[in-house]
Structure formats: C-alpha cells, structure tokens
Amino acid sequence: MVPFLVFLAFFFSIVASFSSSLVTDFHALVSLKQGFDSSSSSSSNPSTIIGSWNSSESLCSSWVGIKCFNGRVVSLNLSNMNLYGSVSPEVSRLEELVELKLDGNNFTGEIKIENLRNLRSLNLSSNQFSGGLDWNYSSLPNLEVFDAYDNNFTDFLPLGLQSLKKLRHLDLGGNYFQGKIPESFGNLIGLEYLSLAGNNLIGRIPSELGNLTNLKELYLGYYNSFQNGIPKEFGNLENLVHLDLSNCELEGSIPLEMGNLKKLETLFLDINGLSGSIPKQLGNLTSMVNLDLSANSLTGEIPYELINLRKIRLFNLFMNRLHGSIPDFVADYPNMEVLYLWQNNFTGIIPMNLGKNQKLQELDLSSNKLTGTIPPNLCASKQLRILILLKNFLFGSIPEDLGTCSTLVRVRLGQNYLNGSIPNGFIYLPELNLLEIHNNMLSGTLSEKQNHSSSNSTKLAQLNLSNNKLSGPLPFSIATFSFLQILLLSGNQFSGRIPPSIGELGEVVKIDLSENQISGEIPPEIGNCLHLTYLDLSQNNISGSIPTQISTIRILNYLNLSRNHLNETIPKSIGSMRSLTTADFSFNDLSGKLPESGQFAFFNASSFAGNPQLCGSLLNNPCNNVTLVVTSPQGKSRGEFKLIFALGLLICSLVFAIAAIIKAKSFKKNGSSSWKMTAFQKLEFTVSDVLECVKDGNVIGRGGAGIVYHGKMPNGVEIAVKKLFSFSSNSHDHGFRAEIRTLGNIRHRNIVRLLAFCTNKETNLLVYEYMRNGSLGEALHGKKKGGFSFLGWNLRYKIGIESAKGLCYLHHDCSPLIVHRDVKSNNILLNSGFEAHVADFGLAKFLVDSGASECMSAIAGSYGYIAPEYAYTLRVDEKSDVYSFGIVLLELITGRRPLGDFGEGVDIVQWAKRTTNCRREEVTKILDPRLTVVPKDEAMHLFFIAMLCIQENSVERPTMREVVQMLSEFPRHSSPSSSSSIKT
C-alpha cells in the first residue's frame, strides 16, 4: 500500500510540474501577444492569428504557429504573417524552444533572445528590428542557425557570437552594422554559411576568415567599404561553393591561391577596383558555373588555362582593360548561357563556333575593337535572347540564321561596317523588342511580312536602321508594329510613298524618315499617331499639301518637313498645336499667307526660308491684303488682360493669407483629444508630443505641399513633422488614408521613413525620421559658410547612387509602384552619415487625388526640374522623374542651381548642352571650380548619364534601374588622392 501511495505522489508531482511548465509557456505567449499591434495590419490574417491565442487549454492544439512536444512549446513559427509591434523579452521564458521564426513581418524596436538552451534555429530576417545584437550568447549554447538579414540593426558586429560553437548558418546582411569584421569570427569553425553583405563595414577583411574551412557560402559585398584586397588565406576555404565579394571597394590583384577552391561554383568579384591580370590558377576551378569579374581594372589577356572551365554558364568580364583576342575555347564551353565581354580592348575575330554547340542566351561583345564577321551559329540552340555587338569593326553580312531566331528580344549591331541585306523576317521576329543596325553599310530592301494580319503583331518597340544604304519602298506590313515607339530610318535611300498603314502605329512616339528619296504625299493617316512627339520627314521628295490631320496630334513638339516639294498653304490649325516648340517648313514650294496666330508667333523666320511664295509680316514679305490697324486693339486687349491677371493674383494672395491666419488660430485652439495618430511602427511618443513641435520657432522648411517642423521627443528621438496644406473634406476618406498607409509601409535604405500620420477634422500631419544634415540642395547651394565644402566628389557620386537606388525602388520594386513627381535636390535628404534618402515620394499624386490645390508646384514638380513633355501633356510618369533626376546629377557636377545662374530664359540643361556641345569630354568646362580632385573619367560618366536622363523624348530616357546599373557598375577610383573628405 505504501509503495502505491509513493507512486501516486510521484505521479501527481510530475503532472503538477507538467502543468506548471505549460502555464509558464502560456503566460510567456500572452505577454508576446500583448506586444503585437494588429491594428497596424492591412490584412485580416494577423487578427486570425492573434485571435487563436486565447485559451491555455488548446495551446498545443489550436494556437496558430505553435508546436509542442511532451507538453512544452518547442516551436514558434510566425513567418510572413504581416505582424506589427514589438517582441517582448518574455519570449525567452519559452524554455524548451527549439525553433523561433519571426521573419517576414514588421516588428520594430529592440529584441533580446537569451536563456534558451535548447534553441537551434532563430530567424529574425525581413523585419524592422533596431538597436544592437550584443546578447548573452553563452545562454544559447545549441544555436545552429541565426538569420537577422534585412533589419535595421546598428552598432558593431557582436563579439559574443564566438561562443556559439555549434553555429552553422549566420546571416547579418542587409543591416547597418559598422566598424570592422572581428578577427574572432575566424573561430566559428563550424560555419557553413556566412553573410555580412549590405552593411557599413570598413577596414580590411580579416585573414582569420580563412580558418572557416567548412564554409560553403560567403557573402561580404554591397555597401561595405573594405580596405586592401582579398586575403590570400581565402585559398584555404576548400569547401567553398559560393563566394560573393561584389561592390565593396576591393583593391589589389586576385590572389593566386583562389585557384585552390576546387569546389567553387560561383565567384562574384564585380564592381571593385581589382587590378592586375586574371590569374591562370582560376583554370583549376573546374566546378565553376558563374564567374563575374566585371567592372574592375583588370588588364592582360584571358588566360588559356580557363579552357578547363567546362561547366561555366555565366562568364562576365565586361568593363575592364583586357586586351588580346577572345580565345576560341570560349566557343567550346558546352553549357555557356551568358557571355558579357563588352567595353574592353579585345581585338581579332569572334570565335566562329560561338553558339554552335552551346546553350547561348545572352551575348554582349560591344565597345571593343573586334573585326571579322558575325559567327553564323549564334542561335543554333534557338535560345538566344540578347545579341549586342555594336561599336566594333565587324564587316560582312548579318547571318541568315538570325532571321529565324524567334527567341531574340534585344539586338544591337550598330556602328560597325556590316554590309549585305537584312535577313528576311529579321525585323518581324515575334519576341523582338529592340533592333538597332544603324551606322553600317547595309543595302537591299525591307521585305514585307509573311502572313500579315493584325492579329499577328510583333512586340518591336524600337527600330533603328538609320545611316545605311537601304532602298526600296517602306513595307505596308509596318502596321504589324503595334507596339512600336521609335522608328528611325533616316540617312538611307528609301523611295516610294509613305504607306497609309503608318497611321496604325498607335504607340509610336518618334518617327524619323529624313534624308531618303521618299515621294508622294504625306498620308493623312499620320494624324492617327496620337502619341507622336517627334516627326522628321525632311530632305525627301515629298509633294502635295501638308495634311491638316497633323494638327490632331496634340503632343507633337518637333516637326521638320523642310527640303521637300510641299505646296499650297500651311494649315492654320498647326498654330493651335500648343505643344509644338520646333517646326521647320523651309525650302519647299509653300505659298499664301503665313498664319500669325498661336505657335506661329514663336517660330523663327528661318523655319520658313526658301518658300518665295509665302508672305506675311514674320517674313518681311507683306501680303497685299495685310492691314496694320488690327494690331492696336490687340495690343490694348493684351495689356488689359495683364492688368486683370495681376489683380486676380493679388486678390488670391490676400484670400490665401487670411485663410492661413484663420487656420493657424484654429489649429492652436484644438486640443490633442481631437487628433488621431496612425503609427507605422512602434513609437515611444504621443500625438501630444508631435503637436508640441508644430510652432513657428521650429520651422525648418516650406514646400509646395506644406510646412516642415523639427521636433525632439521626450525620449530624445528627433523627428520632422510636415503639416500639409488644407484639403477638401473628401481627403479624409479611406482612399487617402490607404495611400498614406502605403507610404508608411515602404522600407528602403535610401528612402525617408514615414513614422506616423496624424489627423483631425482640419489638418493632416506627416511624421518622418529626421535627417540631421538637411537636404542635398542646402548642402550644394546653402548660404551657410562653407556649406558647399561638406560634399567632395566621392561623396557626391555616392549620393547620386544612393538617391538613384531610392527612386529605383519606388519605380520598380514598390507595391504599388510610385511616381515621385517632385524629384529635386531639396527632396534628397542627408542623414548624419551623409547617406542620401529620397523624401516626399508620391505625396504630390496623393494630394491631387484627395482634392488639394492643383496650383501647388509639387503637383507637377518644381521649376527647373519639370520634364518638357509636361508642358503639353499635363501628365507625369516615371520618365518625368528620370528627367528631374538628370537635373540633380547636373547639380552634383556643376554645383549650380537649375535656374537663375545662366541669364534670363536659360536653365542648367540649356547651359550645360551649349557649353559642352553635349560632348562628355568637355565636362571639365562645367565642373564646379570649388571641387579639388575630380577623376575625369568619373565626371564624364556622370555627365553622360545626366545627358541620357534629360533627353527631350521621354521614351529615350533610361529607366531608374538602368541608371542605378550604370552608376554602380562604373569602375571608380579609390586612391587616397581621389577620395573626398568632409569638412566642417
């Protein structure tokens, strides 16, 4: 009986202990739940998650994300559940936890995980955690996986990590860690994966990392700025499969010891300052699949030993200083898919077997000194998508096989010496988007498309065949180019009529048929090309009258019909084309009176020269029926209009001033109780703290959207508060708030973070993180003594890259995509480390949609930055942002404002083009004289990109993604003599 009682006592003690432990887990999870902010979520999913955490009885069976073993919580998995708020330290009370996954949420604030002795996997990635990671890692002795990628962690890399003897996977990339990589990281000998990429690390890469012989993947590049070069000890990493040291300012040569990495499949050393030759020892890397050494300063030839890289798929050596011929063995790589060798000094011929026995998909050999003919089998595998061979000395004909290469998307063969005819079907390939064969010696005719039908249209967007010897009529099947935006056929020998089917090019923006032998009349169907902005039909044999249908093209801004045989009168309706800024009707057979109304009043007399039968006051050739008395009342009415307009402006200004005073008084009368604050992350201040900042003494800026105030919160955090100008009542609807929430949820390193949105019945406040060094505009043009000297050349180039990355995110990676609409130097803010952050993104569009005044400059942009097409389309898109960004680049180069420094009616674009003749080599004429050391090649490159961005035709401007690529991949100087310094 006694033993039985002892057994019962022991049994109940176990049950009690079991229940007590489960209760402990329950309370820990309840504390964790209290830190979550489900109200900030934009979906219903989190409420379901949080709602399931409501009963201790069902903890192990029905709580979402919870797994138990032996009555204890062993796994907490909240991955990608769109949760907001903070993570309570109480999570460390889940003593038996083996797996903790919090990745893919919106958690903010600091986090500390300790005393979880069974924890093996910890994933905090893709959140907004901040602070440091200086934890007691000795209390996590079994941790094997630690992933903190893509957060806002700062401070130095944690030294305590060296106590994690079982650690296999460590990812601290995509944060703001600073300082050097600790040498003690070389003691983590169990590591198989290490990523420190995308931080602010400096100093040398410690050679001790060469002790991590179990490493399979190593990532150290992007944003980090290392001194010296690649440690030769990396040759000891015998198990390494993937090594990425891209874009981290490495110098010196590639160590010969890299040839010891026999298992290496991927080696990325691109966008650095590496010099010397390519080591022949890299030929030992027989497992190599991806090799990228591009955008460095490598010299010499491609070593013969690379013949052994039989598994290679990607081979990038572009933007170096390599010379010699392209080895024949490159054509024998059986798995080759991507070969980029552009912008080197390669000579000789392209290997004739290239593509024959390969899976070639992308080939770019442009900007070299290659000669010979184009290999005939480049598309043998029927996988070739990109073919770029421009700017070489290639001759011979275009291989007929390319005319049936249905996978081609981009083809650029211009600026060579190619002859012969264009293969049949080449321009009608189904996937082809870009075809450039300009500046060659091609002859023959353009064939009609077989099986021509409207349902069988192509994807061609840009076609450039200019400056060849092509002849014959323009094909009627041009109508199949329903997506065509740019058509350049100038400088050939085309004859016959312009086909009426040209009117079916509904998306075309630019047409240039100049310098041909085209005859007949201009088809009236041209008026159906409603997106056309540029039309050049000059230097042909065109006759007949100018069709009035041209005036229906409401956004045409360039029209050149000169040196033809056009007759009759110039249609008066052309004067109503307010978009038309340049027109040339010279040297035709036009007659009659020249219209003087509308746009004709702004054209030069030279635009009508060589038409002796034309008459009018502009030509100093008065017509017999002209009277002068009509001008006096017209002048009088203009004067009256100016007076009325001035009085109207004065009255509007007075009304606005009175309204502003009344609004300011009512703002101060309202207490914080009438305000509601929507926070986009966990904040340690209240709406009352924000309102305290909104007073005249704190004003730090004024713009088209509102007034900006600086404030310091009780906890010491500095913020910027933008008080938006008045809205109509419908601005408070759910649509506007949803748009503001979209802005608040944007997270990018180079975009100013929107912390909160405060609103009452009359006023809206946006709360941003504060940027201590103000705007780029202030740094460049500010009145502070020495204000300009803050920015040396290296810092300016860096700011250009960073601001481009911010805009690129808005245009291409944000959801929904956002057009900034007011890109300018004053909207690029600099933090304490002079890192660029794009501000006021998307706000102008949201203000328009919500009923704000459409007179605000922020709606269309700011004077000096507005793209030319806005004047006649009143529409803004991402290419308008690109134009404005080009102006910012010119400011960085010249140190001048966009307007005011060049005389009346002249802006920075006109001045820069006139001073340099649009030649990048002349950039020294416009460089800011206050800059000391500026590498000329970098200045030329920055100017070249600026010129691309500010092209008149928006279609020809690059995308922001292309701008980022051009800025980032340029091999920059990193010697002390060229580095910038921050002066105070």
pLDDT, tens digit (0-9, with 9 covering 90-100), for 463-510: 999 999 999 999 988 888 888 999 999 999 999 999 999 999 988 999
Mean pLDDT of the region 74-98: 88
Q: Which of 261, 258, 316, 312 is nearest to 289 (CA)?
A: 312
Q: Does residue 10 register a pLDDT over 50?
A: no
Residue 41 — very low, low, confident or very high, per pLDDT cuts 50/70/90? very low
pLDDT, tens digit (0-9, with 9 covering 90-100), for 567-580: 999 998 888 888 88
pLDDT, tens digit (0-9, with 9 covering 90-100), for 894-953: 999 998 778 777 889 999 998 998 888 889 999 988 888 889 889 999 999 999 999 888
Residue 261 — very low, low, confident or very high, per pLDDT cuts 50/70/90? very high
* Bridge-based pairing state of the strands 72-77 and 66-69: antiparallel
pLDDT, tens digit (0-9, with 9 covering 90-100), for 130-146: 899 999 999 999 999 99
Residue 852 — very low, low, confident or very high, per pLDDT cuts 50/70/90? very low
At 389 the pLDDT is 95
Q: Which is the catalytic residue, given 25, 822, 881, 907? A: 822
Residue 20 — very low, low, confident or very high, per pLDDT cuts 50/70/90? low
Residue 548 — very low, low, confident or very high, per pLDDT cuts 50/70/90? very high
At 848 the pLDDT is 40
d(CA 886, CA 945) in angstroms, rounded, equals 7
| β-pair partners for 83 | none
Mean pLDDT of the region 414-426: 93
Q: Does residue 210 register a pLDDT over 80?
A: yes
At 778 the pLDDT is 87
The percentage of residues in the chain with a pLDDT greater than 90, rounded to a whole number, is 47
Q: Does residue 169 register a pLDDT over 70?
A: yes
pLDDT, tens digit (0-9, with 9 covering 90-100), for 651-660: 655 655 555 5
Q: Does residue 669 register a pLDDT over 90?
A: no
Exposure class string for 161-196: b at 16+ Cβ within 10 A, else e: bbbbeebbbbbbbbbbbeeebbeebbbbebbbbbbb
Mean pLDDT of the region 278-289: 94
**DSSP output for 329-392:** GGGG-TT--EEE--SSEEESBPPTTTTTTS---EEE--SS--BS---TTTTTTS---EEE--SS
pLDDT, tens digit (0-9, with 9 covering 90-100), for 313-348: 999 999 999 999 999 999 999 999 999 999 999 999
At 400 the pLDDT is 92
pLDDT, tens digit (0-9, with 9 covering 90-100), for 803-827: 999 999 888 887 778 888 889 998 8
At 622 the pLDDT is 82
Classify residue 104 by burial, with Cβ atoms within 10 Å: 0-12, 13-18, 19+: middle
Any catalytic annotation for residue 822?
Answer: yes
Assigned token pair, 804: 């481009």
The per-residue pLDDT of the chain, averaged, comes to 83
Q: Does residue 595 register a pLDDT over 50?
A: yes
Mean pLDDT of the region 407-433: 93
| β-pair partners for 69 | 72
The pTM for the full model equals: 0.70
At 223 the pLDDT is 83
At 630 the pLDDT is 33
At 222 the pLDDT is 86
Calculate ∠ Cα 805-700-760, nearest 5°. Answer: 90
Q: What is the DSSP letter of 132?
A: -
Mean pLDDT of the region 649-669: 53
Residue 646 — very low, low, confident or very high, per pLDDT cuts 50/70/90? low
Q: What is the DSSP letter of 128?
A: E
* Bridge-based pairing state of the strands 152-153 and 178-179: unpaired
Q: Which of 326, 275, 269, 199 is nearest to 969 (CA)?
A: 269
